[in-house]
Structures are given as C-alpha cells and as structure tokens.
Amino acid sequence: LSGTKILGGDADHVDTNYANTLMGNQTAHDAMYGTAWHCYQNDLGKMTTIHNSYPDKRLYESECSTGPGIAPMNAAQLALESTFNWASGALLWNLALDTNGGPKMGVACDNCTGLVTVDQATGKATYTDNYYQLGQFSKFVVPGATRIGYSDGGGIWAQAYQNPDGGEALVAYNNNSTATTFTTTWNNAGSFSYTLPSHATVTFTRGAQTAAGQIVGQGSNRCVDDTGNPANGVQQQIWDCVSGS
C-alpha cells in the first residue's frame, strides 16, 4: 500500500472547519495527501481558503451529479470552478446511467444524469451534454497541467492551462443567454476574436514547438493565422490548418 494516497473530507460541501481540524492534527496532516469535496452547496470557492492555509496539500472536487434540482452548475462550470479554486481534478457522478437514471439501490438519485445514457432495451448509448462539456477539458488539459491564467469578463469564463510538454489549452464557457464575442490575446502570437453561442464551450490549443504555434478551434478544427503580423490587436484570419499556417 505504499502508493496509496489518502484524501480527507469527501463531504457534500466544502467544510473548512473539518479541514482545519484534520490538518491541525500533525499525525493526520502528515498522513493526508489532501482533501476532497462535493459541489452540491455551490461553495467550491472555499477550496481556495483551504489551499491558502495548507498549500502543500492537494485538493479535489470528488463528486458532482448534474441534473434538475441537484447540482448548481453544469459540467463545464464545474471544471472551471474547481480548477480556479486549486483543485487538481474534478469528478462527475455518474459515468453511465440507463434511461430511468439507474440502476439504483432504493430511491437513490431521481434526476441524476451521467456522461452516457444507455438504453438497456436496445443497447444504444447516447452521449449527454456532460460528456461533451467535460471532454472540452479532459481531451486537451492532460494530467500534470497547470492553470496559468483566467478571465471572467462579459459573461465569458475562460481559463488557460499549460500541459507538461509546454503546450497550452484555453477553455471558455459562455454564461450569457445570447451569443457573445470575445477577444483572446495569446502571449506573442497575436490576438483573435471568437463568437461563442449561449451556454456553449470552446477549446483552443497552442503547441509547444514554436512561439507562433497554431491556435486551433476544436469545434471547427481550423486555425487562426496572423498573416505575417504577430502584433497584438491585428485582425486574424481563419484558415484550414496546413503546414506553415
């Protein structure tokens, strides 16, 4: 069991008092890898309080089941909120459910949604919004990534992450009820504008190989090009991604 890591808490809300009691005991502090918390009371911001008190310990959001009247956020908002508040990972619950939200033991959860809904009569699997929203992060923000920036202006919540290989990913979610255009400035690679539909999520990536690496829209799979002028504020053009773009 030498590789086992122990997380304290795992409660339905972020309990700073319990974290202080747990970490205040030196034996427990030394044994704990970190703490884990659920999303249901919409208080994930308290994880930052715990981080500030115990920066040597990891934090995780370890359960959030979306669905009507259950969670106060969707999967994209959960991933953004969790990592903004120092979580090293965010977990949705459940992975797969049938069309009745089961299988269950007893009453269980009435309105929970999984990443996948399986029709047991036909065997057909349907991917839910959770699947696609979480995939905007999990496909492009790899284990070991570090959050390097954020913005939440104008109803657009965006966070940037740097992967261990030096590549970067920017994930943005539109909290507004209408489509919203926002502008991104990417270090020395210029800036570009993008119009994001209401409550939609988009991911842009930038490779680690060159300072002017490709910025790729993961929905369109097309690249942004500065047409030879990398200065900030220059109007960008969208092209099919080809070598040298």
pLDDT of residue 104: 86
pLDDT of residue 1: 67
Residue bearing the bigger pLDDT, 226 or 181: 181
Cα→Cα distances 244→14, 189, 220, Å:
48, 14, 19
Q: How confident is the model at residue 137 (pLDDT cuts 50, 70, 90)?
A: very high
Contact between residue 70 and residue 108 where contact means Cβ atoms under 8 Å apart: no
138-153, pLDDT tens digit by residue? 999 999 999 999 998 8
Tell whether the model's pLDDT for residue 24 goes beyond 80: yes
Tell whether the model's pLDDT for residue 60 goes beyond 80: yes
Rg of the chain on CA atoms, in Å: 20
Q: Helix 16-24 crosses helix 46-53 at what angle (to 10 degrees)?
A: 20
Mean pLDDT is lowest, of 18-22, 108-112, 164-168, for: 108-112
Mean pLDDT is lowest, of 13-27, 32-46, 50-64, 197-211, for: 197-211
Residue 114 CA to residue 68 CA, distance in Å, equals: 13
pLDDT of residue 209: 57
| Mean pLDDT value across residues 160-189 | 92
pLDDT of residue 112: 87
**DSSP-derived secondary structure letter, 155:** G
Q: Give percent of the chain above pLDDT 90.
A: 67
Mean pLDDT is lowest, of 65-74, 76-85, 119-128, for: 65-74
pLDDT of residue 54: 97
189-241, pLDDT tens digit by residue? 778 899 999 999 999 998 875 444 455 665 566 666 666 565 555 666 666 66
Contact between residue 179 and residue 197 where contact means Cβ atoms under 8 Å apart: yes
